[in-house]
Structure 1
Amino acid sequence: MYKDKEIAIRPIEEKDLSRLWELIYKEDAPEWKKWDAPYFPHQSMSFEKFMEIAPKWIGAESMWVITVHDDVFGIVSYYYEDDQKRWLEMGIVIHEGQNWNKGVGTRAFKLWRDHIFNTIPLTRVGITTWSGNKRMIRVALKLGMQLEGRIRKVRYYEGKYYDSIRMGMLREEWETLKNEKVNQE
């Protein structure tokens, strides 16, 4: 578990599954999906169907819950781009709109980035988003990530083309930020 005052990230526990189903799969068109790759389909599923796949989420290293005062607000996750496991992409979803624009995502994503660098021997971590998700781009910049790639007009949503955005941070950049913070304290 990693904490920043009232915000924590931690592995998923059985007690979280009902809330995660409610946040992720209860609705066909949840508000969060408008920002998290909305050009890919999302389908609701019954709680019973979710519980067939949910046990593999418990204790998974690649997906944790975000809590605020012990209430589940969302998830952080990562995946590898290929089998060499040198290219890791991380993600975050704060599922309910009333919890956006309050700094929760930035703080939780920083904890997740730090967890990844602290526990996985990687040279780089990154994110992939789309140019329509300005909040995600701002969060990545706040974390010290740099724009590494822009693939123009490859995401199509609501009659408009958007760019795919790749941002990343090298371990040495993370270590420099960490050392600067220590020196400021």
Structure 2
Amino acid sequence: MTPRVTQITEPPPGPTPPPTAEPVLPPRPNLGPEPWLDSSEGNGWGLVFLGLILLVALASGLWMRWRRNRRRAQLPESERGQNRPPAFPSPIDHRIRRAERLRDALITAFGPNWSAKTTEEIAADPALLTRLGPERSARVVAILADADRAKFAGSSSDERSEAPPEADDRELADLISTLTSPSTGPGR
């Protein structure tokens, strides 16, 4: 197959004919733009579809609730509320909360890099000893270690005998105020 070569011809020599006054018409009649859809025709199906979606969502929600209640009713009475948190926090929860408050005070006092330190790293850091002194820094480490044992030992009973919670809270408040105060020497 050989490619076809088209030859460009030049217009014939001589004067060009004058343009005709006749308008140029398209090959077929122009019918104009497409008509708009009537707004009352399309909204009906959209509302029906939306209603069906809402009905399916409501039915599935009611069905899931019915199944959950049925399973709960099949459990013995002693096992029904086991996933709920206890109404009163245990001594272990109290120790963990105290340590969290103390860690927040350490982060405030020494900077955000202290949030990643373990209890052993905190105990070995000389900045804590410089800021609080030997007795208070030992007490801070003891509170943090006690909370670590409570978190990771898995025991549910409070095995140690300690001062009443009010005395612990006063001591914790004293440690936190010492950490957040602008003084830099040991003690106050």
Q: TM-score range by the shorter chain?
A: under 0.3
Give the strand-richer structure, 1 or 2.
1
- Which of these two proteins has the greater Rg computed from alpha carbons? 2
TM-score (norm 1): 0.20
Give the helix-richer structure, 1 or 2.
2
TM-score (norm 2): 0.20
Question: Which one has more relative contact order, counting CA pairs under 8 Å at least 6 apart?
Answer: 2
